[in-house]
Amino acid sequence: MEKLLIKNAAIIDPVRGKSFTGNILCSDGKITGTGAGITCGGAFEVNADGLCAAPGLVDMHVHLRDPGFTEKEDIFSGCRAAAAGGVTSLLCMPNTNPVLDSAEMVKYVLEKARGACANVYAAGAITEGLRGDGVSDLRGLKDAGAAAVSDDGRPVISSKAMAKAMLEAPALGLRVLAHCEDLYLSDGGKLNEGAVSKFLGVKGVPPAAEECGTAREITLAASYGVPVHICHVSTAKSVEMVRSAKKHGVKVTCETAPHYFALTEKELLKRDADYRMSPPLRTENDRMAVIEGLMDGTVDAIATDHAPHTPKEKSDFLNAPNGVVGMETSLAAGITFLVKPGYISLQRLIALMSYNPAGILGINAGTLKAGAPADIVLFDPAEEWTVDAAKLHGKSRNAVFKGRKLIGKVKMTVCRGKIVYNGG
């Protein structure tokens, strides 16, 4: 399919800052124009009447589990899940086996992903083997194609190693993504330390575990004058620290995940490990603080931290690994919990999920302007649907929104000018 014409869509482009009804013409994998009067003889036509068209979503925090854990997910199954959720570009984390701490492993992921139905970018490991000390060859990772560096899944334990990485990365065009956690404070906790953990008699993770880690990374960024990106912000104090740092000129950005603005620790009363992730679900006060951060620009992006695990692993509430899948529900969760209640506009949501993360990573995505990659999501912003975990397109079923009614349904996803998902 060389030419694709999407007709009569409500076009949402964060770059233009406004919505309008029109057509989008794609040719040879690029967007060649948007507007009401655009036509093209011989193009494959899609009638998008009643649907919104937006830049394909950019999920800057995904665990594809490949290599080493492909029973949970692999590059192709993960990208199928991405396409079903309107995600056309994703950044995969390095906590695989082997770890993505070498040029060889980064090349493995990128070469394998060439045939996938989403654009895959790789985050190389900050430290060798994710051991928290001993910085990887960052130049080698960059030359191999890494788009960022992170030890996500674990914090970089050594402040010296983190400082070294943060100083080296900017000159290489790499963004440092920080998993903020003080392991001495989290100390094997299973859920948020508070009323629910006490009621269940389960060891909790204090909010201070995340907040101490956040404070360290902000301090390093401030002291050395270098940028840092804070992953999966979940507490009110973390949001406030980022807000304050930005006011003082610190080069800090941050993301949150849909479960942190939609759910609270009360979900754990079900004793279902599908609601366990790291950092854990927090309190209603924290949830509202995250929403306030999204409203005022403190929180720059929404990412899923898509972390697949097998049903067998997740069957044990206390011993199951942390993590939930989320790419297929992220747009609907944003509409349901942010747009419908009036916290943010649909335009703002699309920016948080496409243009902003693309800008943080420095990748060519997140816009529908002429010449941009033909990565587009078509969705019905008003359609209600119930999440059926058994019908998800990835390998795993640990969906945090399972059984919930959400608003906003992805109908079609176009990646590189080709239809990679057609949901009717």
User: Are 15 and 91 in the same domain?
Assistant: no
Final residue in a domain of this structure, among 318, 337, 361:
361
Instruction: Judge whether 369 lies within some domain.
Output: no
Coil, helix or strand at residue 48 = coil
User: Are 339 and 390 in the same domain?
Assistant: no
CATH number of the structural domain spanning residue 240: 3.20.20.140
pTM (two decimals): 0.98
The per-type count for the chain, helices as H runs and strands as E runs, is 14, 18
Structural domain boundaries, residue 107: 60-361
* CA distances to 197, 216, 382 from 319, in Å: 15, 29, 39
User: Are 286 and 383 in the same domain?
Assistant: no
CATH number of the structural domain spanning residue 16: 2.30.40.10
Instruction: Judge whether 318 lies within some domain.
Output: yes
pLDDT band at 36 (very low <50, low <70, confident <90, very high): confident
User: Are 157 and 214 in the same domain?
Assistant: yes
The number of distinct structural domains making up the chain is 2
User: Are 146 and 26 in the same domain?
Assistant: no
pLDDT band at 40 (very low <50, low <70, confident <90, very high): confident
Residue 318 has pLDDT above 70, yes or no: yes
User: Are 307 and 273 in the same domain?
Assistant: yes
Instruction: Judge whether 389 lies within some domain.
Output: yes
Instruction: Judge whether 241 lies within some domain.
Output: yes
Residue 128 has pLDDT above 90, yes or no: yes
Return the pLDDT at 1.
59
Instruction: Judge whether 331 lies within some domain.
Output: yes
User: Are 27 and 145 in the same domain?
Assistant: no
User: Are 224 and 295 in the same domain?
Assistant: yes
Final residue in a domain of this structure, among 339, 361, 383:
361
Q: In what order do the strands lie in the sheet with 301-302?
A: 57-62, 87-92, 119-124, 148-150, 175-178, 228-230, 252-256, 301-302
Return the pLDDT at 81.
98
Return the pLDDT at 215.
98
Return the pLDDT at 34.
93
Residues 111-121: tens digit of each pLDDT: 999 999 999 99
Q: What is the average pLDDT across 397-415?
A: 98
**C-alpha to C-alpha distance for 209 and 182, rounded to whole angstroms:** 5
Q: Among the options 66, 74, 305, 375, which is catalytic?
A: 305
What's the one-letter identity of residue 127?
T
Q: Is 305 a catalytic residue?
A: yes
Mean pLDDT of the chain: 97
Q: What is the average pLDDT across 252-270?
A: 99
Instruction: Judge whether 139 lies within some domain.
Output: yes
Using alpha carbons, select from 44, 4, 10 the residue that is nearest to residue 25.
4
β-bridge partners, 419: 414
Return the pLDDT at 17.
80
User: Are 229 and 316 in the same domain?
Assistant: yes
Instruction: Judge whether 366 lies within some domain.
Output: no
User: Are 221 and 73 in the same domain?
Assistant: yes
User: Are 416 and 352 in the same domain?
Assistant: no
**C-alpha to C-alpha distance for 82 and 68, rounded to whole angstroms:** 20
User: Are 256 and 309 in the same domain?
Assistant: yes
Instruction: Judge whether 368 lies within some domain.
Output: no
pLDDT band at 82 (very low <50, low <70, confident <90, very high): very high
